[in-house]
Amino acid sequence: MTYDETLDDEAAQQAKSILGNRLAAPARDTVERLYGHYFPPVPAFDGWDDDTEAFIRAEDNDREATLTALRPRDDAHGRFLHQTLAEIYPNTFTYRDSPAHETADDGLEVSMFSARVRLEREYLRHWLPFPHVPRYETQEEAADHLEHLAATNPGVDHPLFDYLAAEAPRRHLEKFLRGETIRNEIVDDEVALLTVGLQGTQKAVVAANLWDECGRGRLENFHTFWLRRLIDRSENGWEGFYDYRENHPWFAKITSNTNAMLLSRPAYTQQAYGCFLVFESWVAPHFTHILTAMDRFAIDEADRRIYFAAHVAVDPRHADELADGVRFQRPRLSPAEIHRVLQGAHLAADAGKRQYDLWLDHFRTDKEHTA
Ligand SMILES: [Fe+2]
Ligand SMILES: [Fe+2]
C-alpha cells in the first residue's frame, strides 16, 4: 500500500456513521408511546419542604449550626444530608425537578451550589470519609486490586439480595424494583458526566459504555427504554410510580448521591471512575437474585424482566472493561491518580453496604410489624 492509500484509509475510517444509514422515525407504536413520557420519571419542580428550602437559602454559619445539631443523631443526620442532596442534584443534571429547569435563576443556583458543596463536605468529613486504601505504583497492580475488590466487597453478596430472592413478600420486591428504577434512571447521564476530564483508554471505555446505554443508536435498546417498559407494566403504571417516589426512603439515594458528588467535582474525577467500576461489578449478582425473586412470584413478562436480564448479560463486560481501562490506560496514571481511583472504589463499596443494610433493616422491621 502506498503512503497516499494508507493516508486515505486513515482519513476515511469514520466517514460512515455508526448510527446506520439515516436516522429515521421509530418503527413501532410502543416506542412512540413510551417516549411520550418525560424521563427520568420525575415530576416538574413544585417547591421544597421547609427544612430543605431554609438550608439552601441560609448563610454559612446557619448551615453549620443545622449540621452540627444533627450530627449526634445518626439517622436524622443521614436523612437530612441525603434528602437535601437529592433535592439539589437535579440542578446538576438539568432535570425538570430543578427549580431552574425552565428559567435560569442566578441567585438561587448560586445558593444551591454552595449548599451542595457544604453538604458534600459534611458527607466526606462526618458521614462517610474516603477510606484508607493500599498504595500502588503501577496501573497493573491497581487493576488487579480493583478486580479483587469488585468481586469480594461486602456489597456484592449482601444478605439483602438473598432476602429478596428467597423470603421477601411481593410488596417488598415491588418496592425494591421501584427503588432500583430510581437508582438507575439516570445512569446514562452519569456515564456521560464520567467521560468529562478522563483521557485516552479510560475515556474510550466510558464512551463505549455510554454508547451501550444509548442503545447503540436504537431507541428501543436504550437502557432507560427498558425502565420505561418496566414502569409501564408495573402496578398503576406511571401514576403509581409518581406516587411511590413521594415515599422513596432516604437511604435509597445513598449510592446515587455518592456518584453525583464524585462526578460533579474536578478533584474527584478518578474517584468517580473507581466508584462506577464497583457499581457496575455488583449489578449482575444483584440482578440475578432479583430475577430469582421474580420467578418466585411468576413475574414472567419480558417488559418487567428485560432491564435486569439484559444487565446480567452486559454489566460483567462493562466491569471488566473498566478494570482494563485502568490496566492499559494511556497516558499513564500517576501514583496519586491511581490512589484516587482506589479511594472511589472503596468509598462506593462502603456506601453500597450502608444502603443495603438500611434497606434490609427497613424490610425486616416492616415484616415484624405486619406479621
Ligand atoms: Fe445500563
Ligand atoms: Fe453497564
Residues 234, 95 share a domain: no
* 44 lies in some domain: no
Cα of 269 from ligand 1 centre, angstroms: 20
Q: Is the dihedral of CA 141, 200, 93, 337 positive or negative?
A: positive
- Give the integer Cα–Cα distance in Å for 67 and 132: 25
From the CA of 205, the nearest ligand is: 2
Q: If DSSP codes are grouped into helix, strand and coil, which group holds residue 222?
A: strand
- Give the integer Cα–Cα distance in Å for 134 and 138: 12
pLDDT grade, residue 24 (50/70/90)? confident
**pLDDT at residue 7 tops 90:** no
* 349 lies in some domain: yes
Residues 201, 167 share a domain: yes
* 280 lies in some domain: yes
| Residues facing residue 214 across a β-bridge | 222
Cα of 226 from ligand 1 centre, angstroms: 9
Question: DSSP class of residue 219?
Answer: G
* 103 lies in some domain: yes
Residues 194, 110 share a domain: no
Residues 112, 151 share a domain: no
Q: Which of 94, 127, 160 is the last residue of a domain?
A: 127
Task: Give the burial string for 35-53 (b: 16+ CB within 10 Å, else e).
Answer: eeeebbbbeebeebeeebe
pLDDT score of 134? 97
pLDDT score of 9? 87
pLDDT score of 3? 84
**pLDDT at residue 178 tops 80:** yes
CA distances from residue 67 to 77, 127, 223, 341, 344 in whole angstroms, order as listed: 7, 11, 38, 29, 24
Average pLDDT over residues 21-35: 84
* Ion ligand 1: residues, Cβ under 5 Å: 223
What are the cell numbers at 18?
455508526
Average pLDDT over residues 12-27: 80
pLDDT tens string 149-175 = 999 999 999 999 999 999 999 999 999
pLDDT tens string 259-293 = 999 999 999 999 999 999 999 999 999 999 999 99
Cα of 344 from ligand 1 centre, angstroms: 20
Q: What does the mean pLDDT of the chain come to?
A: 96
Residues 175, 114 share a domain: no
Residues 213, 327 share a domain: yes
pLDDT score of 70? 98
Cα of 86 from ligand 1 centre, angstroms: 21
The CATH number of the domain holding residue 217 is: 1.20.910.10
**pLDDT at residue 69 tops 80:** yes
pLDDT score of 21? 67
Cα of 354 from ligand 2 centre, angstroms: 22
Cα of 104 from ligand 2 centre, angstroms: 33
pLDDT score of 267? 98
CA distances from residue 199 to 174, 322, 327, 332, 342 in whole angstroms, order as listed: 40, 13, 14, 10, 18
| Residues facing residue 222 across a β-bridge | 214
**pLDDT at residue 367 tops 90:** no
Residue 122 lies in domain = 49-127
Cα of 108 from ligand 1 centre, angstroms: 33
Residues 172, 149 share a domain: yes
End-to-end CA distance of the chain: 77
* 249 lies in some domain: yes
Cα of 241 from ligand 2 centre, angstroms: 23
Cα of 259 from ligand 2 centre, angstroms: 14
Q: Which of 80, 102, 127 is the last residue of a domain?
A: 127
Average pLDDT over residues 205-228: 97
* 106 lies in some domain: yes
Q: Which of 84, 103, 127 is the last residue of a domain?
A: 127
Cα of 51 from ligand 2 centre, angstroms: 36
Residues 279, 187 share a domain: yes
Cα of 109 from ligand 1 centre, angstroms: 30
Cα of 108 from ligand 2 centre, angstroms: 34
- Radius of gyration, alpha carbons of the chain: 22
* 165 lies in some domain: yes
Cα of 278 from ligand 1 centre, angstroms: 14
CA distances from residue 138 to 117, 281, 326 in whole angstroms, order as listed: 32, 22, 10
* 132 lies in some domain: no
Domain count for the chain: 2
What are the cell numbers at 66?
443545622
* 89, 257 contact by CB (below 8 A): yes
pLDDT score of 371? 63
Average pLDDT over residues 174-188: 97
From the CA of 226, the nearest ligand is: 1
CA atoms within 13 A on the CB side of 28: 8
From the CA of 276, the nearest ligand is: 2
Residues 217, 117 share a domain: no
Residues 351, 264 share a domain: yes
Burial of 268 (0-12, 13-18, 19+ CB in 10 A): buried
Cα of 315 from ligand 2 centre, angstroms: 5
**pLDDT at residue 8 tops 90:** no
Cα of 312 from ligand 2 centre, angstroms: 9
Residues 328, 182 share a domain: yes
Residues 195, 72 share a domain: no
Average pLDDT over residues 27-56: 95
Cα of 362 from ligand 1 centre, angstroms: 27
Lowest-pLDDT range of 1-5, 116-120, 297-301: 1-5
Cα of 203 from ligand 2 centre, angstroms: 15
